[in-house]
Chains A and B, each alone.
Chain A
Amino acid sequence: AQSVTQLGSHVSVSEGALVLLRCNYSSSVPPYLFWYVQYPNQGLQLLLKYTTGATLVKGINGFEAEFKKSETSFHLTKPSAHMSDAAEYFCAVHWGKLQFGAGTQVVVTP
């Protein structure tokens, strides 16, 4: 069965440090790939997506992600964390339907 896995349910980073959130999918056919963010008491909103073309995609708030077909991965990064990045992040894949990973909670410490 197709699945999406996010490594690490909680990540703590210092303000100004690199943010790295991992996402892997299991499929022989690359799906469409998305990262969503959910701030406390708010709905999900799109950070970025990969469908076709350039494998490094840039999103909002300084986030970017790279699609690596050979590694079946779509990891999310941000060079310098800001306090406002504290939220839950979800990787999602589209194989006919949109399916989400379990999420990674990001805590940013001063």
Chain B
Amino acid sequence: DTGVSQNPRHKITKRGQNVTFRCDPISEHNRLYWYRQTLGQGPEFLTYFQNEAQLEKSRLLSDRFSAERPKGSFSTLEIQRTEQGDSAMYLCASQQGMNTEAFFGQGTRLTVV
């Protein structure tokens, strides 16, 4: 078990470009979360999956954001037409059941220039 893996670790993109991030959870974990974190703030919930089903997406999330978890294993988060306000750390976490520890990846730091 190598933990939760996120790629890339850093991404610099020009405003208006699309970006895609990948998260590989711990293999037996059925829940997968995406969060966004900016400096000095707590992780902001974006969306989560139970197996391949996307159960909830934050109402604050723009339609430019989409996430998939096609086979209930890895997940991707895509941001279309990036804006400077999208610059943040994007965190992925996986969990087996609601009352267990969620394990976090190291995050992908996005900078939109």
Contact = CB atoms under 8 A, between A and B. Distances in A.
Contacts, number: 53
A49 interface: yes
Contacts of B95: 98
Given A43-B107, A44-B91, A98 B40 contact: no
Interface residues of A, number: 22
A67 to B, nearest CB: 13
Nearest to A94: B98
A5 B92 CA distance: 22
A99 B44 CA distance: 8
B99 interface: yes
A109 interface: no
A8 to B, nearest CB: 13
B104 A32 contact: no
A90 B104 contact: no
A6 B42 CA distance: 10
Interface stretch (A12-20, A75-83, A100-108): A100-108
A46 B95 CA distance: 12
B41 A102 contact: yes
Q: Which 10 A-B pairs have the closest CB atoms?
A: A51-B99, A100-B42, A44-B104, A103-B42, A46-B101, A43-B104, A102-B42, A100-B43, A32-B99, A43-B106
Interface of A: 6, 9, 32, 34, 43-46, 49, 51-52, 90, 94, 96-103, 105
Given A100-B45, A102-B41, 11 more contacts: A34-B102, A44-B93, A45-B104, A49-B99, A51-B99, A90-B43, A94-B99, A98-B33, A98-B48, A100-B42, A100-B43
21 contacts: A32-B98, A32-B99, A43-B91, A43-B104, A44-B43, A44-B91, A45-B104, A49-B99, A90-B42, A94-B98, A96-B55, A97-B45, A97-B48, A98-B45, A98-B48, A98-B102, A100-B42, A100-B44, A100-B45, A102-B41, A102-B42
